[in-house]
Amino acid sequence: METKIFTYLVGGKAGEGVKKAGSVAAHLFSGMGRRVFQMDDYQSLIRGGHNFSVVSTAVGDVTSHYEKADLVVALDKRSYQMHKGHVKENGILVYNSNAVRGEAEGIGIPLTKTARRYPNPGMRIGVGAVAVLAAAVGLSKDELKELIEREYRRDLENNVPYAFDVYDLAYPEVGGRFKLEHGDKPRAILSGNQAIALGAAAGGLDAYFAYPMTPASSILHYFAAHADDLKVAVVHPENEIAVINMAIGAASVGARAMLGSSGGGLALMQEAFSMAGMAEVPLVCVLSSRPGPSTGVPTYTDQGDLYFALYQGHGEFPRFVASPGTIEEAFYLTAELLDLVWRFQTPAILVTEKHLSESSMTVEIEPDKARRPDPLMHSGGEYKRYLETEDGISPLLFPPSGQFIRWNSYEHDEAGITTEVPEQIVRMRDKRNRKYETMVEYMRSQHTVNVFGDGGPVIYTYGSTVMSVLEALRAGDIRATVVQPIYLEPFPLWEIERYGDGIVVELSSTGVFARYLREKAGINAKAVIRRYDGRPFDPVELAEQIKEAM
């Protein structure tokens, strides 16, 4: 089970700079041309508690963090206790000897005491964790200085000397213990939420609407920070109901609109989601899941929202539901969904999870490959918003125009005027159902399912769990065929059915994805490997589970 993976884990209190230390490490590794995966585990609190960041890196692919690390740096006692069991064979455990007392294992360094030489010692010790890493991987002091300058930017007059102090303390104990090969080239590091935002931007987004909700909030933050560069209108209104209704209003005058939230927020949007179905409004909704039901466990990950994502809104109407398997895929898929909703004038759910939204990894993205919306526009003659066409798609037109454009949440005639006439009701329902048929037909020619591996038993998975499974196969050196439906609705039965029964891997307590496969494709799960404690899979453990199931 030897891999070329190096894993760095830093744990401490919220506010100590744990996530930042992980991110600095990730950038260090990617700067060496290596690939990186960073997973941040944090609680629903602002200061204190227990956070940790795990960064796994390799010269080749790496699509998951590993629970066991080569280098663990514990900034406080709780981290020490929690992570002392997470040191790989031949790994090193370094702890803050000012926080952990009377413990024998590992190497103590007085991170806090050293920090007291500088202002705000409590918030600085994450820098110490970076210095320990620098020493352990054999960085020179100059390289460390450059790293701190590039990544922290602020307060360098204290951060650099503090890093040097810690480096000097650590070097004798850990200096150069890990030799990390360089890889081919530096790559950008993106979180899933950044990829979603950027994918939408590349796909032509005009307006983003959101009310903060973990783990979707950072899409809002990213757009807000880049509103000027990207020229996107970014609005954080009073509540989620305003979010979706504003987004619908924006779309109705021609803006490519998107919104994002987690389950609780999307739950509030369902009435309007249904309106988007009736009025045929193009709209992409990002649903980033956490363990539910209800408030659940806000800062952790889960895939238990599957059925909720699939069946939002009352009444019958077509929609797309898709879930990206990797951060790169999140980029392209978001742009693709923008294209699809505009092509078919109906809403879409991009369902993902905290594990994708808030993890980061090295990516290679080509913005020009993002799909761009190319909706069917009205080309002359009298305009009718809901023109009955063979394929169910009515051309679009936006104000200002000399024509009459009416969107309607009521059942309506072709011009968008409300109707209660039985024949008219049937015609419009038939039109929307025909549109669904057109969608299905179209999707048959699209890439709707990823298949990884070239033989071996079939493993079904989707969403961010794809990354875990792929890493588990590498970690366990397992030969398998991984089948990932990117699209969940319309369900790509034409692709899936050929694979037959298999093992199902998912983050849910009742096996909702396995149930979905059974219901949709008659696929029986030979085993359902579930995890539902809010944490993503560890590739090593998952590899064992997969082997057992095979």
Partner 1 sequence: MGELITYAENTWCPGCGNFGILKAFQEAVRRLEAEGIGREKLFISSGIGCHGKIADYLKLNGFYSIHGRSMATMEGAKIANPDLKVIAFVGDGDAMGEGIAHMIFAAKRNIDITVIMHDNRVYGLTTGQFTPTSVLGYKGPSTPKGSIEEPLNPLTMMLEAGATFVARGYSAKTDHLADIIAQAIMHDGFSFVDVLQPCVIFFNMYEHYNEVVTPLESVPADRDEAVRLARLEDRLPIGVFYKAEKPEYCRSLYGDWNPVAQRMPLEERRAAVTRLVTP
Q: Which stretch binds its own copies (CB under 8 A): 95-103, 129-137, 298-306, 499-507?
A: 298-306
Question: Exposed e or buried b for every residue in 42-73, given b needs 16+ CB within 10 A?
Answer: beeeeeeebbbbbbbbbbeebbbbbbbbbbbb
> Considering only residues 49, 175, 264, 375, which one is a binding residue for ligand TPP as defined by CB under 6 A?
264
CA dist., res. 532 & res. 511, Å (int): 10
Strands (E), 120-225: 188-191, 207-210
DSSP secondary structure, 417-471, as one string: -B---HHHHHHHHHHHHHHHHHHHHHHTTS--EEEESSSSSEEE--TTHHHHHHH
**Contact in structure between 267 and 336 (CB atoms under 8 Å):** no
411 binds its own copies (CB under 8 A): yes
Q: Between residues 203 and 485, which has the closer beta carbon with respect to its own copies?
A: 485
Name the nearest CA neighbour of 22 among 48, 52, 46: 52
CB of 110 to its own copies, least distance (A): 30
**Which of these segments, 113-121, 214-222, 460-468, 514-522, binds partner 1 (CB under 8 A)?**
214-222
CB 239 within 8 A of CB 408: no
Quote the CA–CA distance of 137 and 281 in Å, as a whole number.
Answer: 53
Write out the binding residues for ligand SF4, residues 236-295 only, by CB under 6 A: none
The yes or no reply on residue 212 touching ligand TPP (CB under 6 A) is: yes
Q: Is 457 in the site for partner 1 (CB under 8 A)?
A: no
Alpha carbon distance 52, 18 (integer Å): 6
Site string for ligand TPP, 293-312 (x = CB under 6 A): --x-----------------
Question: Could you say whether residue 236 binds partner 1 (CB under 8 A)?
Answer: yes
From candidates 11, 121, 265, 485, binder to ligand TPP by CB under 6 A: 265
Interface with partner 1, residue 272, by CB under 8 A: yes
Residues 6+ apart with CB under 8 A from 221: none
Tell me which stretch binds ligand TPP (CB under 6 A): 211-219, 226-234, 243-251, 417-425: 211-219
Q: Amino acid letter at 406?
A: R
| 3-class state of residue 292 by DSSP | coil
Pick one of 61, 149, 184, 271: the residue that binds its own copies (CB under 8 A). 271
In whole angstroms, the minimum distance from the beta carbon of 327 to partner 1 comes to 11
* Least spacing, CB of residue 275 vs its own copies, in Å: 4
> Of 32, 82, 107, 246, which one interacts with partner 1 (CB under 8 A)?
246
Q: Is 46 in the site for partner 1 (CB under 8 A)?
A: yes
Query: Residue 424 phi/psi, 5° resolution?
Result: -70, -40
46 forms part of the interface with ligand SF4 (CB under 6 A): yes
Instruction: Round to whole Å and give the CA distance between 315 and 101.
Output: 62
Residues 443 to 482 in contact with ligand TPP, rule: CB under 6 A? none
DSSP state of 507: S
**Residue 533 binds which entry of its own copies, partner 1, ligand TPP, none, with Cβ cut-offs from 5 to 8 Å by kind?**
its own copies
Least distance in Å: CB of 496 to its own copies? 15
CA dihedral for 213, 214, 216, 219, sign (positive or negative) = positive
Q: To the nearest whole angstrom, how small is the minimum distance from the Cβ of residue 270 to partner 1?
A: 11
Angle at 177 between CA 171 and CA 181, to 5 degrees: 125
Of 268 and 542, the one with the shorter C-beta distance to its own copies is 268
| Count of residues that bind partner 1 according to CB under 8 A | 93
Residue 213 site contact among its own copies, ligand TPP, ligand SF4, none (CB < 5 to 8 Å, cut-off depends on kind): ligand TPP
DSSP class per residue in 325-351: SSHHHHHHHHHHHHHHHHHHTSEEEEE
Query: Which range touches partner 1 (CB under 8 A), out of 211-219, 284-292, 347-355, 456-464?
Result: 211-219
Rounded distance between C-alpha atoms, residue 362 and residue 366, angstroms: 13
CB 450 within 8 A of CB 481: no
Tokens of residue 26, six digits = 């990730």
> Binders of its own copies: how many residues, by CB under 8 A?
66
Q: Does 291 bind its own copies (CB under 8 A)?
A: yes
User: Smallest gap, in angstroms, from Cβ of residue 381 to ligand TPP?
Assistant: 34
Cα–Cα distances in angstroms (integers) from residue 175 to residues 107, 170, 311, 336, 371, in the given order: 12, 7, 55, 47, 48
> Under the rule (CB under 6 A), what is the footprint of ligand TPP?
211-213, 240, 264-265, 268, 271, 295
> Under the rule (CB under 6 A), what is the footprint of ligand SF4?
46-47
> Under the rule (CB under 8 A), what is the footprint of its own copies?
43-44, 241, 262-268, 270-271, 273-275, 277-279, 289, 291-300, 302, 304-305, 307-308, 310-317, 409-411, 419-420, 422-423, 425-426, 429-430, 433, 436, 508-510, 512, 519-520, 522, 532-535
